[in-house]
Structure 1
Amino acid sequence: MHSTIVRGQNVFGFFTTVCFVVAALIAASDLLAPRTPKATVAVKDLQVVRGRPHYYSTKKEEYAIIRFSLSADLSSLFSWNTKQVFVYVSASWPNSTLGDAGKGEMVNEAVIWDTIITNPSADHLQNIGPAAMKKLVRSTKGKTIDPSRGKLELKNQKAKYQITSPDGKLAETDNMVLKLHYNVQPWVGVLTWTPQIEFGSWKKVKGGISKAFKLPAIKAKKVVEKKSA
């Protein structure tokens, strides 16, 4: 006869096995849902400044401030297993210190803007005020999946983060582009990032990259001459 402890262990082991199998099936179901994101990114304003990009910076360096427009439809990333989607825009540019060897290779990349889009069932995870939370919950009441959550329309958006370079020089950097990325965080399963290749019904982001541009030179300070008496 098995003791009570052994029987409890057998029941617990069977329970965990069933939970693992169910979780695996839920995670695998994401592969059946098509993902066809598309986006358009355009640069609106560029500025290069010399100074301390952050209050904790120890030295002055060149940093870029970018304004951009973004039109994205990421609604296909939301399924019944989607918890939230982390969206971010990065700036990529080749490393000038590599010379011709690094020409065309986007070896430098910096995030300039990001946001989190939650599914209605995960709205309670957002760090917003009570009034905004009530409005958000009321607008999505009864909806399990809200396609409008994945649609972004930003015009002349100022970057959240300034761009700096390891060598401290950034003015007149050429062949820079902006790219849209995302990270899907499911309720059950693994995190999935922006695919570099198409896999089944999961497609690469259609568009999602701006035209190459060049950063301007640092504006020289105007010297005001004093009028002679």
Structure 2
Amino acid sequence: MHSSFTRLQNVFGFFTTVAFVLGAFIAATDLGSTRSPSGVIKTDNIQVVKGRPHYYSSKKEEYAIIRFSLEADLSSLFTWNTKQLFVYVTADWTGPGNTNNSAVIWDSIITNPSADHLQNIGPVAMKKLKRSAEGKAIAPERGILKLKNQKPKYQITHPSGKIAETSDVTLKLHYNVQPWVGLLTWNMDKSFGAWNAMKGGISDRFTLPALKTKDSKDKNSAKNKTKGKKP
């Protein structure tokens, strides 16, 4: 006869197998949901400044500050199995020796209405989120982004400390879907079944401006004074 421990172990193994199979089935249902994300992104204002990486550092580095506008429709990424969506924008360029450089300049987390309680937000914003989700499996405005002259969350630099006048820079929109059950999925370069690749989401190529020096500022101020004088 089997001992009580052996019987308990068999029951636990059976329910673990059932839970695993059920979870795999739930995750597989996402494959049939259509994904058709799209976005348009462009730069508004670009600056290159010089600053210290740490307050106690004597060495200064060049930092690029890129403001941008973004219109994106990521609502198709929200299904009943979507817990939250992580959206971020990167600046990408090719450096010396054909090295690929990528730096995040902005990001945001968009939760499913059923997961709003997991987000650390204020009570007023929480009431608005609950109100928008009343009677809806997924609020229709989730995943719709409209940003104008958006200030970046992060300034970008380079290990060399120099980034001014870098050419062929592009901004790119990315997303990461976190499901309730299943694997994390990122934006794809190619379509796969009902999952379509991102339509758009890449800006035109641009060049970072030169670093503004004290001499250039003095020249600009002198030109402005000259223009203001009457002949």
TM-score of the aligned structures, taking structure 2 as reference length? 0.89
Structure 1 residue matching 2:141: 3-state secondary structure: helix
The equivalent residue for 1:116 is: 109
For residues 77 and 5 of structure 1, the distance between their equivalents in structure 2, rounded to whole angstroms, comes to: 45
The equivalent residue for 1:67 is: 67
For residues 33 and 57 of structure 1, the distance between their equivalents in structure 2, rounded to whole angstroms, comes to: 51
Displacement over 6 Å in runs of 4+ = none
Cα offset, 1:182, TM superposition: 0.5
Superposed CA deviations along residues 151-200 of structure 1, whole A, max 9, x for unmatched, are 10000001000010121111111100000000000000000011122111
Matched, 1:170 2:170: no
Superposed CA deviations along residues 87-140 of structure 1, whole A, max 9, x for unmatched, are 000000110x32xxx2xx6x0110000000000000011111122212211221
Asked whether the equivalents of residues 78 and 147 of structure 1 are also in contact (C-alpha less than 8 Å), the reply is no
For residues 2 and 69 of structure 2, the distance between their equivalents in structure 1, rounded to whole angstroms, comes to: 68
Match of 1:142 among 135, 139, 146: 135
The number of aligned residues is 218
Structure 1 residue matching 2:160: 3-state secondary structure: coil
Match of 1:209 among 191, 195, 202: 202
Superposed CA deviations along residues 178-224 of structure 1, whole A, max 9, x for unmatched, are 00000000000000011122111111100000000011111232348
The equivalent residue for 2:20 is: 20
The 10-residue stretch of structure 1 (33-42 or 190-199) with the greater mean CA deviation from structure 2: 190-199
The equivalent residue for 1:29 is: 29
Asked whether the equivalents of residues 70 and 147 of structure 2 are also in contact (C-alpha less than 8 Å), the reply is yes
TM-score of the aligned structures, taking structure 1 as reference length? 0.90
Cα offset, 1:54, TM superposition: 5.7
Matched, 1:185 2:178: yes
Superposed CA deviations along residues 31-86 of structure 1, whole A, max 9, x for unmatched, are 11011100000000000101125657663111100100000000110101000010
For residues 54 and 89 of structure 1, the distance between their equivalents in structure 2, rounded to whole angstroms, comes to: 25
Asked whether the equivalents of residues 46 and 209 of structure 2 are also in contact (C-alpha less than 8 Å), the reply is yes
Give, as a single letter, the amino acid of the residue that structure 2 aligns with 1:218: L
Unaligned runs of 5+ in 1: none
For residues 184 and 178 of structure 2, the distance between their equivalents in structure 1, rounded to whole angstroms, comes to: 5
Asked whether the equivalents of residues 76 and 147 of structure 1 are also in contact (C-alpha less than 8 Å), the reply is no
Asked whether the equivalents of residues 132 and 139 of structure 2 are also in contact (C-alpha less than 8 Å), the reply is no
For residues 57 and 179 of structure 1, the distance between their equivalents in structure 2, rounded to whole angstroms, comes to: 32
Instruction: Identify if the C-alpha distance between structure 1 residues 56 and 143 changes in structure 2 by more than 3 Å, giving closer, same or farther.
Output: farther
Structure 2 residue matching 1:121: 3-state secondary structure: helix
Instruction: Identify if the C-alpha distance between structure 1 residues 56 and 72 changes in structure 2 by more than 3 Å, giving closer, same or farther.
Output: farther
For residues 53 and 65 of structure 1, the distance between their equivalents in structure 2, rounded to whole angstroms, comes to: 15
Asked whether the equivalents of residues 53 and 63 of structure 1 are also in contact (C-alpha less than 8 Å), the reply is no
Match of 1:125 among 115, 118, 122: 118
Instruction: Identify if the C-alpha distance between structure 1 residues 80 and 55 changes in structure 2 by more than 3 Å, giving closer, same or farther.
Output: farther
Instruction: Identify if the C-alpha distance between structure 1 residues 19 and 57 changes in structure 2 by more than 3 Å, giving closer, same or farther.
Output: farther
The equivalent residue for 1:10 is: 10
Asked whether the equivalents of residues 46 and 66 of structure 1 are also in contact (C-alpha less than 8 Å), the reply is yes
For residues 120 and 77 of structure 2, the distance between their equivalents in structure 1, rounded to whole angstroms, comes to: 22
For residues 57 and 93 of structure 1, the distance between their equivalents in structure 2, rounded to whole angstroms, comes to: 27
